[in-house]
Chains A and B, each alone.
Chain A
Amino acid sequence: DAGVTQSPTHLIKTRGQQVTLRCSPKSGHDTVSWYQQALGQGPQFIFQYYEEEERQRGNFPDRFSGHQFPNYSSELNVNALLLGDSALYLCASSLTHTPRYFGPGTRLLVL
């Protein structure tokens, strides 16, 4: 079992660009949550997907959007990138509300 996988591992973008991050949940898991972890901080909840719908959202602007596919994999899209969007983006999967398994993250750098 590969666990939670994320791609790409690293990404460099410039301000104003758009980015798509991908997550495959652990086998058998149907719920995917996304978190943003700025340097030196704890992760902050972006949103959660279940049954292909956004179930809950944190305090993030509409520039952050997502999608969940029938195979439970998920994408996080960020439009009009700002320097402050530079962070580690973590995906977590679960069968319940509590994410037990996180992916290794995607490190996004916005220049």
Chain B
Amino acid sequence: AQTVTQSQPEMSVQEAETVTLSCTYDTSESDYYLFWYKQPPSRQMILVIRQEAYKQQNATENRFSVNFQKAAKSFSLKISDSQLGDAAMYFCAYRSAYLDKIIFGKGTRLHILP
């Protein structure tokens, strides 16, 4: 069975600095997708970034980028120029190419210090 592990329950970063959130996953499949979701206090889950496993190039979305290491089964999220609005729970997630369900990690709570 696939699993997603986020080893950092909480992190803090100074406003305007860069922070990296870690994620590892376990799967025997070769075709899958990885995601980072953001859940602010409003509880509404928002897709931040996605990565297709068959793509070697790391995905980027404005200030958000990932470091995808397929062999190591590692998928970290880098947030550059952190802003107060980035404060939230961040969930790493996995989806097989063959199934619809998404498997989430336990999340990392990110605090932005002014």
Contact = CB atoms under 8 A, between A and B. Distances in A.
B52 to A, nearest CB: 10
A98 B33 contact: yes
Interface residues of B, number: 22
A23 B102 CA distance: 19
Interface of A: 33, 40-45, 48, 55-56, 58, 88, 90, 92, 97-105
B35 A98 contact: yes
Contacts of B99: 56
Nearest to A33: B100
Given A41-B106, A98-B33, A98-B95, A104 B101 contact: no
Interface of B: 4, 33, 35, 42-47, 50, 91, 93, 95, 99-107
Contacts of B91: 42-43
A90 B47 CA distance: 14
Given A42-B106, A97-B95, A104 B100 contact: no
The interface centre, meaning the residue of A45, A55, A92 with most chain B CB atoms within 10 A of its CB, is A45
Nearest to A57: B101
Given A33-B100, A41-B107, A98-B102, 13 more contacts: A42-B4, A45-B103, A48-B100, A48-B101, A56-B99, A56-B100, A58-B101, A90-B43, A99-B47, A99-B102, A100-B47, A102-B44, A102-B46
Nearest to A47: B101
Contacts of A42: 4, 91, 93, 104-107
